[in-house]
Structure 1
Amino acid sequence: MRLSSSGFNQQTQEGEKKCLNSELWHACAGPLVSLPPVGSRVVYFPQGHSEQVAASTNKEVDAHIPNYPSLPPQLICQLHNVTMHADVETDEVYAQMTLQPLSPQEQKDVYLLPAELGTPSKQPTNYFCKTLTASDTSTHGGFSVPRRAAEKVFPPLDYSQTPPAQELIARDLHDNEWKFRHIFRGQPKRHLLTTGWSVFVSAKRLVAGDSVLFIWLENFL
């Protein structure tokens, strides 16, 4: 299942390339995923990594990754860097980690735990995720948003208007900008994303069963 995401009220300085926002990344990854802090020690399993790469690329392990018979089944490493990414084609999030194997002597040295170790990954509070229906992905329809979710994540509507409506500007994981018309109408009345939604669906190649996540990030730079 693919997971697309959009963040509201995000601002970037012109010409500045920014890293993927941590809260947005963790919202897409889900509450069961946590990343070790830089400076911590981790156990790296080469064979497991090889099998995972083979499965993700649909290739045999031996055909894609060299075989090192002398490599131990597990390596104790120190984590030097973590970079959060999102696949350009599918929006699937993943993390790139830089590891340095520790020598037997280094493993015996006194190790001070990082202050962040054991701290749960920060999950955003103002977001909602919805599994798309056939109606949501129809090029002639719109995206139906649960009222509680719309009131929690979207900017407030002016209900003195007839009908209440506004333009929303969102950015996806790759900092691409999308514009949607948010309107409150129908019988019974409901929140809908109309103009701009079908363009988003087509560009992301979304189908019923995929999930879309919207998150409000205030002061996201």
Structure 2
Amino acid sequence: MENNEIHVAIWHACSGLIRMAPILSSTVYYYPQGHVDNYGGSASTQTLCANFPSIKCHVNSMRFLADPATDEVFAHMNMRPMQPQETSVGPARSKEPVTDFIDSVFYKPLEYSDLIGGGLRVEKIFDKEKEDNIVVIHDIHNREWEVQHVYDNASNSHHLTNGWSRFTSSKKLHAGDELVFMRTKDGRVIVGIRRSVVSISQNHEPTGFSFIRNVAHGDKIARTGNGLCSVESLGTAMGNALNKVEFEAVYYPMTGKSSFFYDSEAVDFFAKKKWVIGMRVKKNIVVDHRLGRITHFGFITGIRNERNSPWKRLKVMWDQVEAEQLENCWEIRPDIPSVPEQKREPDIPIVREPKRGFKLFGQTMAVNEI
């Protein structure tokens, strides 16, 4: 089956990512190490490419896709390595802003009882109705599903009954999966799926390769989406990138996994910062995308001196996890205590220095100096 292109707003809602994906004509750094980590490569594979250099690339195309069998979202990228003398090109504006399509999003983790009771109780996403009625929901491929809808005034919730089991059976849902209810500006309700994954080591796949559990038939569905992300495609992408040849890559937005492309201005800005051992730093991370960002605090314990690549060269001891981890300098920030503004006479003006910053995929981000 052919992978379906979907609206970028639906893609971002189902991906669970806070960081936006790059847009057409933006300039990024491609990191082979991040590509291997995103794919789920073995430790030996990661060691093999540890010193590969980063490659500055121009994003020729970015397609936001969904697997027709699993509803898993992923992106197909085409990137062109830039020449040393070539200047960066500013990103083009998106023709379909994310905020102009989806009005609200509601995430519903599935429990075992949600799958055997013949119905599902949800909140916030449907209109309040006094009488029972049939509602039409859409999956992310724009297929329609008619479901009986009952509104419960006492609990201020909605109960999907007749017709719902047909949806769950067709989508092969499992306890631990998560439904993404999206209400569009025109009132449609779209339901996406974030599937639970397990790591299974097999002889023909690298250690840590993820599979989606298909309990309806007891078999396994590879998370790659029709095999688009294979060992061969991974090697081809890295080889072409290192040889300065245009290449294609498939990106799966999974919480906890590395990305392999980062905005070039952000990387350049933070790579020039003076990072020293003992410096207090912080990092916004996504543990559960429904909760948004949480901030971890820690301090730098070491700085790796890699010859070619700056990939995860900072060693950081985080307060919350009490463990040393390798981090990218462009994914952390100096933890600078805020200084209260001093009292002043009304007739004495204060001259403020302009904030310095950089553009992140077309948006200006202000950053404090250290």
TM-score (norm 2): 0.42
Cα deviation, residue 199, structure 1: 0.9
Distance 1:94 1:48 in 2: 16
1:45 equivalent among 19, 24, 31 = 31
Aligned residue number for residue 57 of structure 2 = 77
Superposition map of 1:78-97 within 5 A: 78-97=58-77
Cα deviation, residue 182, structure 1: 0.5
Q: Letter of the aligned partner of 1:32 in structure 2?
A: I
- What count of residue pairs does the alignment treat as equivalent? 180
- Offset from partner CA, 1:19-58 (integer Å, 9 cap, x none): 4112211111125131112111111123432453354xx8
Q: Determine if the alignment matches structure 1 residue 99 to structure 2 residue 79.
A: yes
Q: Please, which runs of 5 or more residues in structure 1 have no aligned partner? A: 1-17
Aligned residue number for residue 12 of structure 1 = none
Higher relative contact order (CA 8 A, sep 6+): 1
Do the aligned residues in 1 keep the contact of 2:109 with 2:179 (CA within 8 Å)? yes
Aligned residue number for residue 5 of structure 1 = none
Distance 2:53 2:166 in 1: 48
Distance 2:119 2:30 in 1: 46
Cα deviation, residue 98, structure 1: 1.0
Cα deviation, residue 101, structure 1: 0.5
Q: Please, which runs of 5 or more residues in structure 2 have no aligned partner? A: 189-370
Aligned residue number for residue 104 of structure 2 = 126
Distance 1:189 1:74 in 2: 52
1:143 equivalent among 87, 103, 120 = 120
- Offset from partner CA, 1:49-89 (integer Å, 9 cap, x none): 2453354xx8x969xxxx99xx9522110011111012233
SS of 1:24's equivalent in the other structure is: helix
- Offset from partner CA, 1:94-139 (integer Å, 9 cap, x none): 1111100111121xx3x3423659xx9648342211111222111x
Distance 1:49 1:167 in 2: 45
Q: Determine if the alignment matches structure 1 residue 154 to structure 2 residue 126.
A: yes
Q: Determine if the alignment matches structure 1 residue 175 to structure 2 residue 142.
A: yes
Q: Determine if the alignment matches structure 1 residue 24 to structure 2 residue 4.
A: no
Taking only the aligned residue pairs, the percentage that are identical comes to: 33
Distance 2:63 2:118 in 1: 38
Distance 1:189 1:125 in 2: 20
SS of 2:13's equivalent in the other structure is: helix
Do the aligned residues in 1 keep the contact of 2:136 with 2:145 (CA within 8 Å)? yes
Larger Rg: 2
Distance 2:158 2:137 in 1: 17
Q: Letter of the aligned partner of 2:183 in structure 1?
A: W
